[in-house]
Structure 1
Amino acid sequence: MKKLFVFPIVFLSCLFSMSCNQTHKNSASVITDTNSTSPVIVDNKHERQNALYDRVKVDLVEGRFTEAPSEIELSIWNQSQEVIKVKGDYRICILEGREWIPIDFEDLSIGGDSYVISKGMSVKVSVQIHPNLVEYKQGDYRVSVAIDSDVGEVEVDGYFSIVK
């Protein structure tokens, strides 16, 4: 009788643990600016979120380089497909084992003592934009990072929405 009672408890606790992990993976990024009390809510799965924001940070979908990049360019597009000029920071992360390791853009080069992104590496790009430098309006945006290599261009895309 005790075995019958213990099994459902163990099963339910495992199920709860799995759902918490899944919820965490699918949730939007939330950042609080040190100069403000309003949270920054970023939606990188293209679902609308109500957000007052001071800055926007977007983790782009994971991409994979087919060749080592020679140049990386960041673009943000609005609904009218107009390119928005961006002043901000972006960071490249590479996957080592199970951990994303950030590398500075200045350290990204082909050869030398700097970090070399090699063929087949998984890559994630994190973009942080400061709206006091760029005027954002309500709507959906697409972030595109174009990576040029000797073989061709690879694009990594992500999405976020601003609802005022």
Structure 2
Amino acid sequence: MKKLFVFPIVFLSCLFSMSCNQTHKNSASVITDTNSTSPVIIDNKHERQNALYDRVKVDLVEGRFTEAPSEIELSIWNQSQEVIKVKGDYRICILEGREWIPIDFEDLSIGGDSYVISKGVSVKVSVQIHPNLVEYKQGDYRVSVAIDSDVGEVEVDGYFSIVK
């Protein structure tokens, strides 16, 4: 009788652990630049470490420019069932050889100290870049944006090129 009782418990615990392992697999989003054939990979490893993975999605608008863009556009989508507050900072790097070299760092607050996003809403936010702080030259740039919210943190990389 004890064996009949133990088997279903062991079986159910194995099923539960298998389903948990499925939800934490590595994942990455692919964004294809309309001006390029190569996809841009945004690694979600930062998202997997916290509750934000299922709640907030952040996309960076990317492209090719003849001069430095004066702003970066973020699309922040609150996929959760609650109102969240977000704020963030960004770092801009230029590709020199095989290394990304930071050229500018500036704290930003989106809409003041924080920005409130209602549940299920996507908000486009423009982050101002001050061109007088750095002399942009032709090349490939990476923008790393860290968004912090009251439900966790997410970090994404976006890319743009300046062609003269």
Cα 1:48–1:109, aligned 2, differ >3 Å: closer, same or farther? Answer: closer
Q: Deviations over 1:42-62 (max 9, x none)?
A: 999999999999999999349
Q: Please say which of residues 8-17 and 20-29 is displaced more in the overlay.
A: 8-17
Aligned residues: 164
Length-normalised TM-score, structure 1: 0.29
- Name the SS of the counterpart of 2:47 in structure 1: coil
Cα distance in 2 for residues equivalent to 1:26 and 1:132: 40
Match of 1:156 in 2: 156
**Mapped contact 1:145–1:157 kept (Cα < 8 A):** yes
Contact 2:70 / 2:131 at 8 angstroms: preserved in 1?
Answer: no
**1:76 matched to which residue of 2?**
76
Distance in 2, matches of 1:138 and 1:97, equals 13
- When residues 49 and 116 of structure 1 are mapped into structure 2, their CA distance, relative to the original with a 3 A threshold, is closer
The answer on whether the counterparts of 1:74 and 1:145 sit within 8 Å (CA) in structure 2 is: no
- Cα 1:35–1:81 change in 2 (3 A) is farther
Relative to structure 1, the CA distance from residue 87 to residue 44 in structure 2 (aligned partners, 3 Å threshold; closer, same or farther) is same
**Structure 2 Cα separation of the partners of residues 20 and 110 of structure 1:** 35
Most deviating of 117-126 and 146-155: 117-126
**For residues 77-120 of structure 1, what are the alpha-carbon distances to aligned partners after superposition, in whole Å with 9 as ceiling and x for unaligned?**
99999999999999999999999999999999999999621343
In structure 2, list runs of 5 or more residues that go unmatched.
Answer: none
Aligned CA distance change for structure 1 residues 142 and 68 (closer, same or farther; 3 Å):
closer
The alignment's TM-score, normalised by the length of structure 2, stands at 0.29
1:51-90 matches, within 5 Å, as: 60-61=60-61
Calculate percent identity across the aligned residue pairs.
Answer: 99
Q: Is the 8 A contact 2:84 2:117 kept in 1?
A: no
Change (3 A) 1:87 1:62: same
Unaligned runs of 5+ in 1: none
Cα distance in 2, alignment partners of residues 71 and 32 from structure 1:
20
Mean alpha-carbon deviation: is it higher for 119-128 or for 106-115? 106-115
Shift of 1:140: 0.9
Distance 1:28 1:48, change over 3 A: same
What are the equivalent positions in structure 2 for 1:21-100 lying under 5 Å apart? Answer: 60-61=60-61
How far apart, in 2, do the equivalents of 1:52 and 1:163 lie? Answer: 35
Deviates more, 1:96-105 or 1:86-95: 96-105
Asked if 1 retains the 8 angstrom alpha-carbon contact of 2:78 and 2:84, the reply is yes
Q: Structure 1 residue 147: deviation in Å?
A: 1.1
Query: Higher mean Cα deviation, 108-117 or 138-147?
Result: 108-117
Q: Distance in 1 between matches of 2:152 and 2:122?
A: 17
Q: Which has the higher mean CA deviation after the structures are superposed, 114-123 or 30-39?
A: 30-39
CA distance 1:90–1:46, change in 2 (3 Å) = closer
Conservation of the 8 A alpha-carbon contact between 1:70 and 1:148: no
